[in-house]
Amino acid sequence: MPAAPPRADIAVIGGSGLSTLFAGAEPVPVTTPYGDPSDLPRVSDIGGRSVAFLPRHGTGHRLPPHRIPYRANLWALRAIGVRQVLATYAVGSLRTDRGPGTLVVPDQLVDRTSGRVQTYYDEGAVHVGFAEPYCPRGRNTVVTTAVQRGWAAVDGGTMVVVEGPRFSTRAESRAHAAAGFDIVGMTGQPEAVLARELALCYTPLALVTDLDAGVASGPGVSAAEVLAEVARHAARLAELVAEVAATLSAQRDCPCPHAIAAFTLPVQLP
Strand positions, DSSP E, the chain? 10-14, 42-46, 49-55, 84-93, 103-105, 108-112, 153-155, 158-162, 183-185, 201-211
Nearest to 84 by CA among 46, 121, 116, 58: 46
pLDDT for residue 2: 62
Strands 49-55 and 42-46: antiparallel
Q: Give the pLDDT score at 215.
A: 78
So which residues are the catalytic ones?
210, 212
Q: Is 120 exposed, middle or buried (0-12, 13-18, 19+ CB in 10 A)?
A: buried
What is the pLDDT at residue 198?
A: 98
pLDDT value at position 224? 86
Question: Can you give the pLDDT at residue 142?
Answer: 98
The string of DSSP letters for 154-180 reads EE--EEEEE--SSPPPHHHHHHHHHTT
pLDDT at 81: 97
* pLDDT at site 253: 94
> β-pairing, 49-55 with 84-93?
unpaired
Domains of the chain: 10-258 (3.40.50.1580)
Residues ≥6 apart with Cβ < 8 Å to 178: none
Specify the pLDDT at position 24. Answer: 80
Q: Does the pTM exceed 0.75? A: yes
For position 16, what pLDDT does the model report? 67
- The CA-CA-CA angle for residues 183, 188, 189, to 5°, reads 120
Weakly modelled stretches of the chain, pLDDT under 70 = 1-3, 16
Contact 55, 14 (CB under 8 A): yes
Q: Which of 85, 105, 113 has its CA nearest to residue 183?
A: 105
Cα distances (angstroms) measured from residue 168 to each of 99, 162, 172, 211, 249: 17, 8, 6, 11, 38
